[in-house]
Amino acid sequence: MTSHSPRGLIVVTGPMFSGKTEELGRHYTRFHIAKKTIGLCKPHDHRTGSAIVSRSGFRAEGTLLNSAEGLLSFASAYDVVIIDEAQFFDESLPAVVRKIMRERLVIVFGLNLDFQGVPFTNMAMLMAMATEPVVYLTAVCGKCHSTRALYSQRLTSETDRIVTGFANYEPRCLTCFEPPTST
């Protein structure tokens, strides 16, 4: 770890299409300029492999981790640890991050809510643990074009909590969000 290394937890959250990966790229570039060592990781994911790619052109290779516990050894080599898609890690993530953030800066990116409008537990807990104000991004509503979309509206009838694929979702504001009905 280099001298004057930052410590703590920054959380960036919001719905799909809100610019989280663009924000990740901004943080990555900033700490690269500051000559900090940066560890970029995400949960093992077969959709995109280890690549972290934004619609605006940012691209970086991350390390795929099978569990949150894997972060402990991964993080030890870096000043700044950036975690993408945090909502997909197992439930031990908040406890693991609590340990790491005492030694280095952790920046976590993830969805705020699932397709039903229910918070992802990991993200809710990490938001409560943040040592900086939580960055809560919004998107443009796919229906009315409000710039305050907070929800990821599922456009398919699947009922599993996790269904990947950008084509399956669009951002929605509070007015236009249509939570699935219980059966």
Nearest-5° Cα angle at 154, 45 to 150: 95
Residues noted as catalytic: 85
- CB of 11 closer than 8 Å to CB of 120: no
* 171-174 CB contacts, 8 Å cutoff, 24+ apart: 171/15, 171/16, 171/17, 171/18, 171/138, 171/139, 171/140, 171/141, 171/142, 172/15, 172/141, 172/142, 172/143, 173/141, 173/143, 173/144, 173/146, 173/148, 173/149, 174/148, 174/150
